[in-house]
């Protein structure tokens, strides 16, 4: 045993954050000069060779993705990883293709599953009972979807693959491990156990089986296999920053009166008034983040919108915020790296008429293909990009070292940056994570759209509070809304 | 004697007084009148008979009839007090076949004396003038003392009264008296006692023997509450009846000598006694031992010892109880001169159940891990071998313990490995991870982070993955201690995840609150200069010994600088008068300052006792070690005596319920500190052997992280 074994063991440690750090640390070691790099690379190759599950073998490949992303020259020659891979899968093929392009030989999918279950095979009770405990329910959703569309017995196949793996690896399935860490009730942690990997690998093998049956197109199977990738390769590149200076920082109330909403109101007014200075000449299109963590937790959401009034009755802030939250964008990217082009959206598809107001969100939520399990906080709070109708040409985006950059043609029109504020392995159920992000865009884009649409640029802000008297109680959630820049004047068209 | 009186409430004083007068009974040249005056001090509490009973009982056990005669000759004894003494004088006269030899015995009107006169001298005993008072069954007020002895006395006295009454044929009188019983349950029990007495009267008339177990036959169908809580009153009455029945049975052995030549005891008798719901075999045996007049013939005795020894062997019970039971059997064996082999066997069992591992045997492993660390740190050879030999048992700890206080052991093993055998820690971590024992593995990982050399890039990389609170805490500690590489690692975590909020541990404030409360209520020490400690305490409203000691501390600390000598003298005088002043460490300091080293030993010893200095779980090592330093400096020749003087908390019944289990670590550390490394190693190896003996019934698989280490040898030679 040497210490590299300990480091490699961290790659399959239950806590997903630890796995991510281990992958990064190993990639960094390989990128170094000298014997340590060679020794580490050899150890990783040996480790990949020893992996007898598809989903854990993928973790080894991710080390090399990280290496290629940060130190492209250090990437080993094509085929080297492939040679070590005892358990190729749809996902490993996709990742290697991402790394080496067409140099990668496609695995023989018939060798990537266990074949047909025996006629009298019955899914084990344990498999059924705990499949949504060891894996997120989305896996079951996808299997169901494939089963419905292909009429193949996908659940049975999944269970069969699971049974084969459990048997060949000598596992004694037990749910006892789910209590990992003896956590107090209410605390959560994103974890993957060896049995999670059995479920996950069985999922990948079932998809390969469906492909060989000729009922599931390979491209669809590859798309579904992405689910087993623990990290979005694009977002992995984006380093979270630190909390911006302008982000409101209310004081913890010292008495019995909750002073946070009032403090936030003052801070938001100031932000709005000084917005052209504070954001360095850019317009804040959206921001979302926690402002206070502790006994009382507060989260703030700022959403820019274009607003017009057609009568005296004010719009309902709650409805307006809801419409903003529901404004979804779609992108063309299909792989495990968050990048691509935003599909066009008609303003009327996401606008809202609330009483005598018409509001139009200035940004939309855009989801990465893969839930970034290794960077779970990003998955929970989401990512927003400028609404495509603000641009004149095709809107595209890509992940950079510290932000997601959005382009209108070749012109940069938006920057999404996030920050962490004490993210840990464990988090409290029902509470927002100590994390935040902000999306900015050039003022000329906003001014132009405002002028053309005869609307005013404005903000709606929601302060969401979470409070409980006792630790055993559930958190009580409450929201207050503030509007900035809205008008009751009926502007001439 | 007054000087030694404890200051712990009336109940404690009574028990202390009983112990004292019991010892006085075996003291030569005793000033009897002075002792009686001491006992009669308790008249104000209505407890002089209770204390006198202990003294008279001891005289009777010592077969000291002259002492009892002398006691009966002292003027001024109340009728209750006289009855107590006469009871034992009569019992001894029957047992030894001697006369009490007091001329005015005709005037004694208690049931014991009446029976004595009737059986011994065939005298008409005359009408019963002294029946047991019904108040003996009352629940005493303002005391936590058991009413059981009083109830037992009541029934025993009633038995003797019934015997006399039946000899005189006063059946109606007896029935009328029984009819006055306050509850049907007491009435029922008295009727059974009376039937027994009637049978004895008949046996006396017919000169026929009475089978030994006959008293129990009258109680075969008697009811008693199944549980104390269901009917406390009846339960306590039944307990007292049970004790009385034991004594009556013993008395009958000798009473019968007055009308038949010899009574017999058979195995069937003992089976009847032990199967009775009014008999607890171990209480019964304790009474037999206390009675100290062996009467079991063979083969009853062999049967009795075999039966009871086997029952303890095969019964799960807490170890002190098991030890106590073996010790009773050993005593019975000694009483009957059954030879060294049997006594030694039983004493071995006593020792192995008491000294060796106490009531929580699996906790020994925890102590052993700490011992291993301590020995390794001090250069005592073998520590790594001992440690590794414990690994198989720890790997399977939840399979042979319930996890209570032992679930922590795998983690503790990691802590010990980090100190004793750090090179094995990575293997242990990997093994725990493979076993999916993540909770323990995480703790062991933190140990790794503690000891890793961060100049090694791989070690640094490993530390980068330590994102749990414990690992981050270790990094912070290393960084704060000046490790710049740890600081860099911490900075990286912060840049990625933001400033990590460390969990703060909430401390319990109970003691602090108490001290504040005590201080709020206390008088000002400045108003009570030395020697007015008594006045100071009297002015307070403290009740418990702890509160009192806290207040004495406040007073001592106030006066220690300005009038230290006076303060010390006052508290010492107070302590000499029997008060439990505690504050041994403070007093030791003052004693050294004003009187030199010879004066402070008693205070060091008392501090170590009071503060449970040998217990690793009750006192901080620094406090214990400060006392060891003084022993090392001033009393190196008393190093062993210090252990003897302080190993148990009480000095009254020093070796009662002794268990060294929680003290082993401190004993080893003490031996090391006092430069007795050989003794330290001997204790450590014996402890290890005991652990291996205790776990020997199970063959544990050796965890593969041990490699080729022979983990089954135990390591101790």
Q: Which residues of A touch B431 (CB under 8 A)?
A: none
> A17-31, A33-47, A55-69, B342-356: which has the minimum mean pLDDT?
B342-356
Chain B contact for A37 (CB, 8 A cutoff): no
* For residue B322, pLDDT beyond 80: yes
Residue B124: the pLDDT is 64
Q: How many contacts, defined by CB atoms under 8 Å, are there between A and B?
A: 94
Half-sphere exposure of residue B641, counting CA atoms within 13 Å on the CB side?
Answer: 10
Q: How far apart are CA A27 and CA A12, in angstroms?
A: 15
Q: What is the mean pLDDT of residues B146-166?
A: 90
- Across chain A, mean pLDDT equals 94
The distance of B377 to chain A (nearest Cα, Å) reads 25
Nearest CA in chain A to B501: A422
Residue A146: the pLDDT is 97
Q: Which residues of B touch A182 (CB under 8 A)?
A: 439
Q: What is the mean pLDDT of residues B581-609?
A: 93
Residue scoring higher pLDDT (A284 or B18)? A284
The distance of A14 to chain B (nearest Cα, Å) reads 8
Q: What is the pLDDT of residues B90-112, one digit of tens each?
A: 989 988 888 888 767 767 778 88
Kindly list the distances between the CA atom of residue A356 and the CA atoms of A313, A317, A451, in Å, as whole numbers in the listed order: 5, 12, 20
Record the tokens describing residue A26, joined without a space: 């190993």
Cis previous bond, A347, omega within 30 = no
8 Å CB contact of A7 and B469: no
Residue B127: the pLDDT is 60
Nearest CA in chain A to B460: A25
Q: How far apart are CA B389 and CA B706, in angstroms?
A: 9
Q: Which residues of B touch A471 (CB under 8 A)?
A: none
Q: What is the mean pLDDT of residues B75-86?
A: 86
* For residue B711, pLDDT beyond 60: no
Residue B7: which pLDDT band, with cuts at 50, 70 and 90? very low
8 Å CB contact of B464 and A24: yes
| Nearest C-alpha neighbor of A309 from the set A460, A454, A462 | A454
8 Å CB contact of A29 and B461: yes
The distance of A435 to chain B (nearest Cα, Å) reads 9
Residue B356: the pLDDT is 54
Nearest CA in chain B to A195: B436
Q: What is the pLDDT of residues A335-391, one digit of tens each?
A: 899 999 999 999 999 999 999 999 999 999 999 988 999 999 998 899 999 999 999
Interface confidence, given as ipTM, is 0.95
8 Å CB contact of A423 and B464: no
8 Å CB contact of B457 and A242: no
Chain B contact for A80 (CB, 8 A cutoff): no
Under 8 Å between Cβ of A297 and A465: yes
| Residue A354 CA from chain centroid, whole number | 32
Under 8 Å between Cβ of A55 and A197: yes
| CB nearest A15 (choices: B457, B467, B497) | B467
Residue scoring higher pLDDT (B144 or A267)? A267
* For residue A183, pLDDT beyond 70: no
* For residue B642, pLDDT beyond 60: yes
Mutate to test the interface with A, among B497, B703, B708 (most CBs of A within 10 A): B497
Burial of B494 (0-12, 13-18, 19+ CB in 10 A): middle
Under 8 Å between Cβ of B542 and B517: no
Q: Which residues of A touch B465 (CB under 8 A)?
A: 7, 10, 13, 18, 21-22, 25
* For residue B684, pLDDT beyond 50: yes
Running DSSP on this structure, what letter comes out for residue B106?
G
Q: What is the pLDDT of residues A85-133, one digit of tens each?
A: 999 999 999 999 999 998 899 999 999 999 999 999 999 999 999 999 9
Residues within 8 A of B (CB atoms), A 201-260 only: 239-240, 242-243
Question: How open is the CA angle B46-B52-B58, to the nearest 5 degrees?
Answer: 155
* Three-state secondary-structure class, residue A441: strand
Q: What is the mean pLDDT of residues B307-333?
A: 91
Q: Which residues of A touch B496 (CB under 8 A)?
A: 239-240, 420
Chain B contact for A26 (CB, 8 A cutoff): yes
* For residue B558, pLDDT beyond 60: yes
Mutate to test the interface with B, among A5, A9, A231 (most CBs of B within 10 A): A9
Residue A493: the pLDDT is 62
8 Å CB contact of A425 and B430: no
Q: What is the mean pLDDT of residues B142-161?
A: 84
Positive or negative, the CA dihedral B99, B100, B103, B106 is negative
8 Å CB contact of A14 and B429: no
Residue scoring higher pLDDT (B29 or B528)? B528
| CB nearest B465 (choices: A25, A239, A240) | A25
Residue scoring higher pLDDT (B259 or B487)? B487
Q: What is the mean pLDDT of residues B123-131?
A: 64
Q: What is the mean pLDDT of residues B234-255?
A: 93
Q: What is the pLDDT of residues A450-489, one digit of tens each?
A: 999 999 999 999 999 998 888 778 889 999 999 999 988 8
Half-sphere exposure of residue B6, counting CA atoms within 13 Å on the CB side?
Answer: 19
Q: Which residues on chain B place their C-beta less than 8 Å from a C-beta of chain A?
A: 426-427, 429-430, 433, 436, 438-439, 442, 448, 456-459, 461-462, 464-469, 495-501
Residue B695: which pLDDT band, with cuts at 50, 70 and 90? confident
Q: Give percent of chain A with pLDDT exceeding 70.
A: 98
Residue A102: the pLDDT is 86
Q: Which residues of B touch A421 (CB under 8 A)?
A: 498-499
8 Å CB contact of B461 and A14: no
Phi–psi pair at B271, nearest 5 degrees:
-65, -40
Residue A272: which pLDDT band, with cuts at 50, 70 and 90? very high
**What region, left, alpha or beta, does residue B82 occupy, with left being phi > 0 and alpha being psi -120 to 50 degrees?**
alpha
> A75-79, A330-334, B360-364: which has the minimum mean pLDDT?
B360-364
> A229-233, B180-184, B531-535, B696-700: which has the minimum mean pLDDT?
B696-700
Q: Which residues of A touch B707 (CB under 8 A)?
A: none
Chain B contact for A3 (CB, 8 A cutoff): yes
Record the tokens describing residue B7, joined without a space: 């200051």
Residue B655: the pLDDT is 57
Q: How far apart are CA A112 and CA A110, in angstroms?
A: 5
Residue B233: the pLDDT is 87
| CB nearest A180 (choices: B426, B439, B498) | B439
Nearest CA in chain B to A426: B468
Nearest CA in chain B to A194: B436
Positive or negative, the CA dihedral B99, B101, B107, B111 is negative
Running DSSP on this structure, what letter comes out for residue A243?
P
Question: How open is the CA angle B446-A46-A58, to the nearest 5 degrees?
Answer: 80
Q: What is the pLDDT of residues A157-182, one digit of tens each?
A: 999 999 999 999 999 999 988 876 55
* For residue A235, pLDDT beyond 50: yes
| CB nearest B467 (choices: A21, A181, A434) | A21
Nearest CA in chain B to A18: B465
Chain B contact for A45 (CB, 8 A cutoff): no
8 Å CB contact of A7 and B465: yes
The distance of B405 to chain A (nearest Cα, Å) reads 15
Q: What is the pLDDT of residues B390-427, one digit of tens each?
A: 999 999 998 888 888 888 999 999 999 999 999 999 99
Residue B3: the pLDDT is 44
Nearest CA in chain B to A171: B435
Mutate to test the interface with A, among B425, B442, B459, B467 (most CBs of A within 10 A): B467
Under 8 Å between Cβ of A395 and A342: yes
Residue scoring higher pLDDT (B369 or B261)? B369
| CB nearest B464 (choices: A6, A21, A182) | A21
Chain B contact for A425 (CB, 8 A cutoff): yes
Chain B contact for A7 (CB, 8 A cutoff): yes
8 Å CB contact of B456 and A3: yes
Running DSSP on this structure, what letter comes out for residue A344?
P
Q: Which residues of A touch B498 (CB under 8 A)?
A: 240, 242-243, 419-423, 434-435
Residue B1: the pLDDT is 44
Residue B714: the pLDDT is 44
8 Å CB contact of A25 and B461: yes
Residue B359: the pLDDT is 58
Q: How far apart are CA A181 and CA A424, in angstroms?
A: 14
8 Å CB contact of B459 and A421: no
Kindly list the distances between the CA atom of residue B347 and the CA atoms of A373, B352, B641, B660, in Å, as whole numbers in the listed order: 65, 8, 23, 17
* For residue B511, pLDDT beyond 50: no
Angle between helices B65-72 and B79-96 (to 10 degrees): 150
Per-position b or e across B121-137, b if 16+ CB within 10 A of its CB: eeeebeebebbbeeebb
Residue B598: the pLDDT is 85
Residue A155: which pLDDT band, with cuts at 50, 70 and 90? very high
Q: What is the pLDDT of residues B476-500, one digit of tens each?
A: 999 999 999 999 999 999 999 998 7
Count CB atoms within 10 A of the CB of residue A418: 25
The segment with the largest mean pLDDT, out of A147-161, A285-299, B246-260, B615-629, is: A147-161
Angle between helices B438-451 and B425-434 (to 10 degrees): 160
Residue B362: the pLDDT is 76
> A13-17, A57-61, B138-142, B207-211: which has the minimum mean pLDDT?
B138-142
């Amino acid at each position: 045993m040497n210490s590299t074994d300990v480091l490699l063991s961290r790659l399959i440690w239950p806590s997903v954050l630890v796995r991510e750090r281990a992958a990064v640390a190993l990639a960094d070691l390989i990128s170094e000069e000298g014997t340590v790099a060679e020794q580490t690379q050899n150890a990783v190759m040996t480790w990949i060779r020893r992996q007898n599950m598809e989903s854990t073998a993928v973790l080894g490949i991710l080390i090399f993705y990280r290496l290629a992303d940060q130190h492209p020259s250090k990437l080993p020659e094509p085929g080297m990883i492939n040679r070590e891979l005892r358990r190729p899968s749809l996902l490993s093929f996709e990742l290697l293709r991402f790394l080496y392009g067409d140099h990668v030989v496609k695995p023989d999918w018939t060798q990537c599953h266990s074949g047909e279950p025996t006629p009298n095979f019955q899914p084990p009770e344990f498999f059924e009972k705990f499949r949504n405990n060891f894996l997120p329910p989305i896996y079951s959703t996808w299997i169901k979807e494939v089963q419905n569309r292909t009429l193949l017995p996908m659940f049975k196949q999944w269970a069969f693959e699971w049974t084969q793996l459990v048997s060949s690896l000598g596992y004694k399935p037990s749910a006892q491990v789910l209590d990992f860490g003896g956590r107090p009730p209410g605390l959560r942690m994103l974890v993957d156990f060896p049995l999670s990997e059995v479920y996950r690998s069985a999922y990948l093998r079932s998809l390969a089986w469906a492909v060989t049956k000729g009922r599931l197109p390979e491209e669809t199977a590859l798309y579904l296999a992405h689910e087993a990738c623990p990290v979005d390769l694009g977002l992995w590149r984006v380093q979270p920053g630190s909390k911006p200076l302008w982000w409101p920082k209310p004081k913890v109330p010292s008495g019995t009166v909750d002073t946070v909403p009032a403090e936030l109101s003052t801070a938001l007014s100031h932000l709005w008034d000084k917005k052209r200075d504070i954001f360095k000449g850019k317009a804040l299109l959206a921001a979302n983040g926690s402002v206070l963590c502790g006994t009382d937790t507060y989260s703030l959401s700022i959403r820019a919108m274009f607003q017009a009034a057609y009568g005296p009755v004010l719009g309902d802030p709650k409805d307006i915020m809801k419409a903003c939250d529901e404004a979804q964008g779609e992108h063309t990217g299909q792989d495990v790296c968050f990048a691509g082009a935003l599909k066009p959206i008609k303003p009327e598809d996401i606008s809202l008429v609330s009483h005598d107001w018409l509001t139009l969100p200035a940004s939309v939520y855009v989801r990465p293909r893969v839930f970034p399990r290794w960077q779970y906080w990003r998955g929970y709070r989401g990512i927003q990009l400028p609404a495509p109708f603000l641009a004149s040409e095709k809107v595209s985006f890509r992940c950079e070292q510290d932000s997601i950059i959005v382009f209108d043609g070749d012109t940069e029109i938006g920057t999404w940056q996030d920050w962490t504020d004490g993210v840990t392995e464990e988090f409290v159920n029902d509470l927002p994570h100590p994390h935040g992000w902000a999306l900015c865009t050039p003022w000329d884009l906003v001014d132009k759209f405002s002028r053309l649409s005869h609307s005013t640029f404005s903000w709606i802000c929601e302060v969401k509070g979470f409070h409980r008297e006792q630790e055993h109680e559930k958190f009580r959630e409450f929201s207050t809304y503030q509007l900035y820049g809205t008008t009751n004047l009926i502007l001439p068209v | 004697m007054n000087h030694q009186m404890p200051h712990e409430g009336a109940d404690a004083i009574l028990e202390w007084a009983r112990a004292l007068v019991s010892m006085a009974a075996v003291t030569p040249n005793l000033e009897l009148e002075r002792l009686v005056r001491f006992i009669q001090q308790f008249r104000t509490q209505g407890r002089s008979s209770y204390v006198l009973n202990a003294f008279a009982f001891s005289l009777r056990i010592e077969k000291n009839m002259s002492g009892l005669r002398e006691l009966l000759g002292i003027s001024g004894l109340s009728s209750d007090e006289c009855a107590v003494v006469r009871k034992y004088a009569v019992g001894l006269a029957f047992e030894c076949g001697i006369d009490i030899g007091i001329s005015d015995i005709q005037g004694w009107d208690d049931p014991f004396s009446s029976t004595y006169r009737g059986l011994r001298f065939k005298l008409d005993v005359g009408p019963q003038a002294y029946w047991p008072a019904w108040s003996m069954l009352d629940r005493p007020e303002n005391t936590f003392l058991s009413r059981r002895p009083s109830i037992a006395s009541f029934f025993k006295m009633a038995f003797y009264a019934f015997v006399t009454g039946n000899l005189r044929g006063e059946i109606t009188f007896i029935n009328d008296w029984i009819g006055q019983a306050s509850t049907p349950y007491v009435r029922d029990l008295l009727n059974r006692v009376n039937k027994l007495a009637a049978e004895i009267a008949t046996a006396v008339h017919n000169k026929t023997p009475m089978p030994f177990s006959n008293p129990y036959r009258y109680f075969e169908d008697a009811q008693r509450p199944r549980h104390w809580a269901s009917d406390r009153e009846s339960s306590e009455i039944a307990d007292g009846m049970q004790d009385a029945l034991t004594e009556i049975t013993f008395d009958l052995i000798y009473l019968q000598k007055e009308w038949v030549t010899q009574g017999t005891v058979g195995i069937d008798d003992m089976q009847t006694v032990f199967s009775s719901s009014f008999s607890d075999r171990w209480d019964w045996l304790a009474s037999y031992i206390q009675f100290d007049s062996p009467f079991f013939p063979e083969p009853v005795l062999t049967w009795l010892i075999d039966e009871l020894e086997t029952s303890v062997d095969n019964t799960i019970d807490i170890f002190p109880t098991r030890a106590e039971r073996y010790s009773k059997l050993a005593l019975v064996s000694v009483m009957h001169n059954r030879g060294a082999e049997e006594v030694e066997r039983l004493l071995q069992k006593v020792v192995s159940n008491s000294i060796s591992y106490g009531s929580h045997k699996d906790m020994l492993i925890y102590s052993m891990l700490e011992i291993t660390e301590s020995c390794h740190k001090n250069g005592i050879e073998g520590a790594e071998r001992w440690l590794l030999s414990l690994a198989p048992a720890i790997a399977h700890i939840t399979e042979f313990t319930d996890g209570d206080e032992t679930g922590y052991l795998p983690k503790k093993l990691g802590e010990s490995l980090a100190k004793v055998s750090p090179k094995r820690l990575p293997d242990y971590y990997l093994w725990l991870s493979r076993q999916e024992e993540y909770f323990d593995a995480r703790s062991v990982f933190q140990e790794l982070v503690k000891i890793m050399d961060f100049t090694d890039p791989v070690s640094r990389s490993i530390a980068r993955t330590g994102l749990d609170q414990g690992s981050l805490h270790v990094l912070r500690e290393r960084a704060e201690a000046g490790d710049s590489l740890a600081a860099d690692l911490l900075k990286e975590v912060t840049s990625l995840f933001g400033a990590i909020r460390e969990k703060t541990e909430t401390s319990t404030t109970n003691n602090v609150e108490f001290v504040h409360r005590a201080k709020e209520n206390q008088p000002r020490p400045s108003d009570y200069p030395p020697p007015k400690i008594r006045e100071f305490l009297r002015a307070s409203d403290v009740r418990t010994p702890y509160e009192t000691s806290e207040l004495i501390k406040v007073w001592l600390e106030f006066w220690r600088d300005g009038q230290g000598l006076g303060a010390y003298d006052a508290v010492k005088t107070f302590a000499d008068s029997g008060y439990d002043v505690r504050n041994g460490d403070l007093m030791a300091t003052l004693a050294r300052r004003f009187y030199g080293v010879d004066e402070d030993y008693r205070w060091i010893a008392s501090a170590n006792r009071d503060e449970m200095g040998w217990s690793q779980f009750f006192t901080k090592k620094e406090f214990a070690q400060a006392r060891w330093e003084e022993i090392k400096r001033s009393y190196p020749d008393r190093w062993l005596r210090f252990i003897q003087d302080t190993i148990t908390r009480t000095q009254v019944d020093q070796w009662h319920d002794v268990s060294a289990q929680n003290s082993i670590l401190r004993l080893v550390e003490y031996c090391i500190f006092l430069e007795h490394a050989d003794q330290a190693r001997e204790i450590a190896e014996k402890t290890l052997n005991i652990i291996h003996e205790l776990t020997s019934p199970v063959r544990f698989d050796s965890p593969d992280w041990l490699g080729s280490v022979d983990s089954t040898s135990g390591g101790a030679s």
